Each structure stands twice: as C-alpha cells, then as structure tokens.
C-alpha cells in the first residue's frame, strides 16, 4: 500500500516518506531554536550558522537514509576513508568552504542509495531540501546577516563606557563597516590595548 516499484528500484514509499518528512520537521524546529534563539542571538557569527544548519541537515538525511540499509563492510570503510580526507587535508579551508565540501560528499553518498529499500522520491526530496538550505544561507542569509569579529584596539582611552559612541565612530572611520555594537572582551593594561568584539552589518 503506497509503494511504487519499477523493476528493482523503489520509486515511492508513502509510509517512509511521511516518517522522513515528520522527523525533518521536528529536527528543523529544534535546530532552529538552538541556532537562532540561543547561538546567533548573542554570537552573530553568520558563517558558523551556515555550518551548523547545513551539517545538521546533511547528517540528518544521511543517518535517516542509511538506517534503511545494512551497510557492507567495504562501504563502511569507504565512508570512513572519505571523511578521513577532511581531517588530514594539508591546506587550511575556511568554515564555509569546508561546509560545502562536506555537502557535496554527503550528496554523492545519498544519491548512490537508490535501491529496493530507499525510494527515489526520498532521494529527490533530500536533494531538494539540501539545495534549498544551501541556497538560503549562501544567497540570502549570509548576505544580510549581522556578523562579528575580534579587533585589537590601541586607543585605550575610548574603551570607557562613557566613550562608547566615540569608540564606535572611530571604528567606523577606520574599518568602513556598518558597526551595530561593540563589546569589550579583554583589556591589556601593560600594552594599552583592548580586545573588542565588533558586531556589524555585512
């Protein structure tokens, strides 16, 4: 009931597709709270938001679809070898590029899973969701999100709370950024410098 087969390929399984969709909704609701209500509200690090959201979706789908299969030993070692490449890379890769590298590897693994146990419809649905999540965060969220960075600042006299507006004006002039707020992380009185967390609009 609710199963469509074409030769040895499972095209659609209504029960599995429904379960996958419901688990995805629950997963997205929880991860939204973790990322936006807890992490991003204070840290304003947009690239890590991209990494958290995309990696969560990728691992969710990979785990959900692989749970239908009895993994052969060779396949398991193959996955281990693929992810070992990420660990033993020689070139330093930024967090965003690392996330996309992980995404294309997981997409390749997922798209190879169409069998009589994993429906083609589930694979297409998975690809669509991953593409939409990547597009949203890369083309929409990251372009408009507030970001933050740490700055070593030498005008120690402007660090005082009553000089906060002067501090922001000076930072805007020197960086050219649309600074929303600043937070003093630490002060080094020996070197007359301060570590400042700057939140700005990209």
Give the pLDDT band (50/70/90) at residue 197: confident
What pLDDT digit, counting tens, does each position of 22-47 carry? Answer: 999 999 999 999 999 999 888 878 88
Give the pLDDT band (50/70/90) at residue 77: low
What pLDDT digit, counting tens, does each position of 168-177 carry? Answer: 888 888 888 8
Q: Are 31 and 56 in contact (CB under 8 A)?
A: yes
Q: Rounded to whole angstroms, how far apart are CA atoms 21 and 171?
A: 47
**Tokens 């965003």 sit on residue:** 96
Give the pLDDT band (50/70/90) at residue 1: low
Q: Are 57 and 133 in contact (CB under 8 A)?
A: yes
Q: What are the domain boundaries of the chain?
A: 3-144, 146-201
Q: Rounded to whole angstroms, how far apart are CA atoms 48 and 50?
A: 5
Q: In the predicted model, what is the mean pLDDT of residues 187-191? A: 85
What pLDDT digit, counting tens, does each position of 83-102 carry? Answer: 666 655 555 677 888 888 88
């Amino acid at each position: 009931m609710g199963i469509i087969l074409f030769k040895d390929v499972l095209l659609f399984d209504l029960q599995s597709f429904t379960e996958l969709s419901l688990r995805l909704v629950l997963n997205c609701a929880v991860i939204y709270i973790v990322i936006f209500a807890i992490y991003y509200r204070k840290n304003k690090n947009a690239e890590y938001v991209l990494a958290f959201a995309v990696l969560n979706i990728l691992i969710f789908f990979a785990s959900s679809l692989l749970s239908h299969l009895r993994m052969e030993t060779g396949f398991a070692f193959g996955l281990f070898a693929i992810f070992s490449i990420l660990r033993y890379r020689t070139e330093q890769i930024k967090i965003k590029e690392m996330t996309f590298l992980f995404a294309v590897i997981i997409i390749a693994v997922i798209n190879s899973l169409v069998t009589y146990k994993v429906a083609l419809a589930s694979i297409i649905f998975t690809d669509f969701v991953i593409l939409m999540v990547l597009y949203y965060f890369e083309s929409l969220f990251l372009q408009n999100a507030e970001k933050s960075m740490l700055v070593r600042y030498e005008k120690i006299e402007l660090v005082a709370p009553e000089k906060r507006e002067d501090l922001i004006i000076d930072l805007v002039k020197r960086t050219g950024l649309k600074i929303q707020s600043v937070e003093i992380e630490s002060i080094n009185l020996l070197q007359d410098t301060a570590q400042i967390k700057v939140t700005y609009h990209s």
